[in-house]
Chains A and B, each alone.
Chain A
Amino acid sequence: MKSILKKITLAISITGLFCNISAAQDQPKATGKSEATIGLSYNKKADSKTAVAVVKVKKDGRFVPALNAKVNFYAVHDKEQQLLKSASTDNKGRAVIELQKGLPVDENLASTIVAKIENDKLYENTEEQMHFKEANLTLSLNPADTAHLVTAKLTEMDKDGKEVPVKGAELKFYVQRLFGSMPAGENNTVTTDENGIATFAYSKNIPGDTAGLITVAVKMEDNEQFGSIESKLPAAWGTSLAIIKDPFPRALWGVYAPWPIIITLSTLFGIVWSIYVSIVIKLFKIKKEGGMPNV
């Protein structure tokens, strides 16, 4: 009996200890600051290059975005760090800076960026670094009407400043929509060949705008060497969108009421309210009459 009790006590103590440990991990440290982790990525689009730091903290056993964390971004060159910019995290825990041209590169033509949280009021010091190489993604459309082919070519610069194809990179093909990107097909991923080329045939019945235009988008997402790159190109491949002149006909179930209802209601209640108005006018007459001397 005693041994059973001992075992139970031990089990409870161990469980309690673990609970305390996991709870302690969730708790802010003695300094009152939370321990944060940084995820760093490089994004290249047609018009911009950005470094994105996603900062998270552990709360109740889950990672949640860290708000208002000040992140300093440094470029590393010959082991020296040069501050590029600082940014604070938003409600998604994202701090974004735009990268200018001419970032220092190492002998492999790779740039190194370090993101740091330093002396922040809310979070402990932490840092993360990434290396990435510059790559170019160019798109071209098949001029023939027979097939809606998009050819994407991925290249990088060699040490001599020449463009060389990137082989074996996964590219994804999309159609740009108002609030996001729509995959161009069920399997929209194509790997580049030895020429750095990936080709994808778009469907012929993709709805476009009123002129039948769609925007073709090709992305390389979270590549280990090159980060994320996106390139877009308009194509007159979509089916034209016919604008309905009156999408909400006047109906009982529609947005606008049928005219007969408006006229009937306005007439009936208009009559009643005009009578009310006439009564108020008469009341004023009674009042006016009261102001006159008695005869």
Chain B
Amino acid sequence: MATEKFDLKQEIETLREDCLRPTRTFGRSSQIWVGFLLAVMAWGIFCYIRQLRYGLGVTAMRDYVSWGMYISTFVFFIGISHSGTLVSAILRITKQEWRRPITRSAELLTFVSLCFGGIQPIIDLGHPERILNLVMYGRVQSPLMWDVISIMTYFTGSTVFLFLPMIPDMALCRDRLTVVDTRYKKFKKWLYTKLAIGWKGTKTQWHLLEKTMGTMTIVIIPVAVSVHTVVSYIFAMTLRPGWNSTVFGIYFVAGALYSGSAGVILGMAAFRKIYHFEKYLTPRHFDLIGKVVLALTLVYAYLNMNEYWIPAYKMATAEGHLLSDLFYGNYSKIFWTCQFGTVLIPIVIMSFPKGRKITPLVITCIVIVIGAWVKRYLIVVPTMLHPFLPIQDVTKEWSTYFPNYVEFSVEAASLAGMLLIITMFSKLFPMMAVWEVEEGIEIDYDKEVAVELGKQRIADHAKAAAEAVKVSNGQLKQPA
């Protein structure tokens, strides 16, 4: 048993080193990557300044399509933000052991996607300062107000939810990283000390942390569900063809979970590759989360069918025009590609164990994430181009929409911003919850020890029994 104890310590030590290693280096490739992201952001900010200066006329949006790429991306990012809730909260509640190495990246994805999702409606405003009107003159009965309240609540909750499991890791960073010579040592020391909030790992501290995490795990799920439900209300409570749906709430939540979990897989695969986490993020993890994505895609496909099949059966006037455009009109190619390519084909692929292997699963998830964005675009834009009052006597520019370079640039900057925060985060903090993975290793170790002990006991019992038989046989052979 002594050798095994030594192995456990060694294993934990290796884990700690593996997790902290990325925080000690900022190599050439990282610098190039960050430089590239900053360049993309700078260009996007330049385009946004142009938009501020000359108005929304510099975008492709006109009178009919006032919600274009920005609002589609807003819905998409809010959807992606469900990753943290699903993987972290739901898997925590259901006590899934395999969640341990992936919770941090899922929670981080939630945080950054909320940061950049939340600003999209502000970007969509010609006068961004008017967002303050929502605070000053907001109407509580407006879905827009509900949206602001629930997104703020979810953002705060997600930040706390990301921070809580980081506390013991911050203490680890504080104690380890600052003793060796690293870049920005002073800053890091200050940062880790502040974020560790005096963590010493006492019994009381562990008790308090577990209690708060337990509470947050329960609270964050309904908050996350409320966020995407309310986002759907912005559409469903507007009298427009295509949005007048009672299943929009659950449809949006399911779509969010489906795209969010696919996003988590992409994050997992990236960190596995870049930071060499192969030992911790095993093919088994991908297989299991692949099954989760499969289940969610099936639910999403079912709701998708309901969303289109029921109105398609009736083909009511205005709705009929919209559906005709989607099924065999201007948007038919993109619509059917989206339905088959990003929903049905992924279901088929992920249904087979081979499809849940890392490479095919990652490719499938890339397709799902892109498809999720395209789907949001298909929800927002065609409806705006099919108002109840027909569009007449307007220039072609007004009656069609395709985002122009300004919108693409601003959204590219948003994506770059997300990736930049994730990159910088991974260079400052461990991308796996070290203590949680340690806990998992200890549990596995205990199980192994228990099995070993069991085996030992059985062997001992067998030996004792054999001895007893031997003894009794000997006694029998002895002359009376």
A residues with a Cβ closer than 8 A to B are 251-252, 254-255, 257-258, 261-262, 265, 268-269, 272-273, 275-276, 278-280, 282-283, 285-292, 294-295
Contact = CB atoms under 8 A, between A and B. Distances in A.
Given A289-B202, A294-B200, A255 B139 contact: yes
A290 B140 contact: no
Contacts of A257: 139-141
Interface stretch (B31-39, B215-223, B291-299, B366-374): B215-223
Nearest to A264: B140
A258 B167 CA distance: 43
B199 A290 contact: yes
A254 B215 CA distance: 38
A265 B156 contact: no
Contact of A272 (B167, B212, B219): B219
Interface in B185-216: 196-200, 202, 204-205, 208-209, 211-212, 215-216
A281 to B, nearest CB: 10
Nearest to A279: B212
Given A272-B219, A287-B197, A258 B149 contact: no
Contacts of A289: 198, 200, 202, 204-205, 208
Contact of B153 (A252, A269, A280, A286): A269
B429 interface: no
B115 interface: no
B401 interface: no
A64 B211 CA distance: 74
Contacts of B150: 269
B205 A290 contact: yes
A279 B215 contact: yes
B160 interface: yes
Contacts of B149: 265, 269
Nearest to B237: A252
A255 B140 CA distance: 9
B157 A286 contact: no
B146 interface: yes
Contacts of A269: 149-150, 153
Interface string B266-310: 000000000000000000000000000000000000000000000
Contacts of A286: 167, 197-199, 205, 208-209
A255 B226 CA distance: 24
Pairs A-B, 4 closest by C-beta atoms: A290-B198, A257-B140, A257-B141, A287-B197
A206 to B, nearest CB: 35
Contacts of B199: 286, 290
6 contacts: A254-B141, A265-B146, A286-B198, A286-B208, A287-B197, A289-B208
A275 B140 CA distance: 22
A65 to B, nearest CB: 28
Contacts of A258: 141
Contacts of A287: 197-198
Contacts of B160: 276, 279-280
A252 B205 CA distance: 47
A272 B153 contact: yes
Given A265-B146, A283-B197, A272 B208 contact: no
A285 B223 CA distance: 25
Nearest to B138: A257
A252 B139 CA distance: 9
Contacts of A288: 198
Interface in B134-157: 139-141, 146, 149-150, 153, 156-157
B198 A265 contact: no
Contacts of A268: 226
Contacts of A282: 208, 211-212
A8 B341 CA distance: 68
Given A286-B167, A289-B198, A289-B205, A272 B141 contact: no
A262 B140 contact: yes
A276 B212 contact: no
Contact of A276 (B139, B157, B211): B157
Nearest to A251: B141
Contacts of B205: 286, 289-290
